[in-house]
Amino acid sequence: MESSTFSIGIIFNAFVSGIVAAAAIALVFFLFKRYRKLHSTMRAYAWFWFFTALVWIPLSIRYLFIGFGSTGQWPHYFDILLQFAVFLGGLPLIYYIGLRVFNDQWLAGAMGLASILPIATALWLILQPGGLIAQEITFFSAETIINTGSLIIFNVEGGLLLALLIYDIIIHLNQWRKSHIRQTFYRALYSLAIVIYLALGILEQSGLVNDWTLVVFRILYAATFLFVYLLITQHEAADETYFQEEANIAAV
């Protein structure tokens, strides 16, 4: 994609995307500070959010190049980088879902291995001529959409993952309703955060959102990162309160 004029609207979009990137980076640092304390499922969860941060960094830089009138290939290179991050983020997500839904490390690993071929195919198609299709440049947006083949792979895998995540949410909410065990409620919310993020991503990848609505839409991503941060801090605080209550009871 080429542009030869300065665009304040696109630079504003880059600024908003940069804020989202900063929120994603902050969440990743927050998660990886706790990495040794995390079990396998939550480590996969952390790696998924790591790849989301890798999406937003090149995205914001790409918009800066376009906004300042870049006529070179750099916006295209950053576009490819962010698409690689989008698809590669599916690997830890699939592993997370395998552990969460089936509670089986072997099956979760097998699901991850099975997803390598379609992900590699989608990325190979993106690297081909016409792999990224430029949309009409507007005052606020200069988007590309992925080719039909890659989009089909993205939507099929995304749809299957969404279905499994929704199933996980329903199961854990039902368990929480019956037992009132706090952990099951938080597990449902962890998956809910990913469902919200994936739903936003599927809408954006489809090219249905553009111009000024895209800028507003991207604020929702930052809200999702904040939701995950608040969820983890609340979970940790609840666990500390629980253990303190148990210690007080034992001391009586």
Name the residue ranges covered by the structural domains of the chain: 8-246
pTM of the model: 0.89
pLDDT in tens, 5-53: 778 999 999 999 999 999 999 999 999 999 998 889 999 999 999 999 9
Which pLDDT tens digits describe the chain residue by residue (252 residues)? 444 577 899 999 999 999 999 999 999 999 999 999 888 999 999 999 999 999 999 999 999 999 998 767 899 999 999 999 999 999 999 999 999 999 899 999 999 999 999 999 999 999 999 999 988 888 888 888 899 999 999 989 988 999 999 999 999 999 999 988 888 999 999 999 999 999 888 887 676 777 788 888 889 999 999 999 999 999 888 876 533 433 443 333
Q: What is the pLDDT of residue 249?
A: 36
Q: What is the pLDDT of residue 188?
A: 94
The CATH classification of domain 8-246, taken from the options 3.90.1580, 1.20.58, 1.20.1070, 3.40.50: 1.20.1070
CA distances from 64 to 80, 200, 222, 245 (A): 16, 22, 19, 52
For the chain, the distance separating the N- and C-terminal CA atoms, rounded to the nearest angstrom, is 70
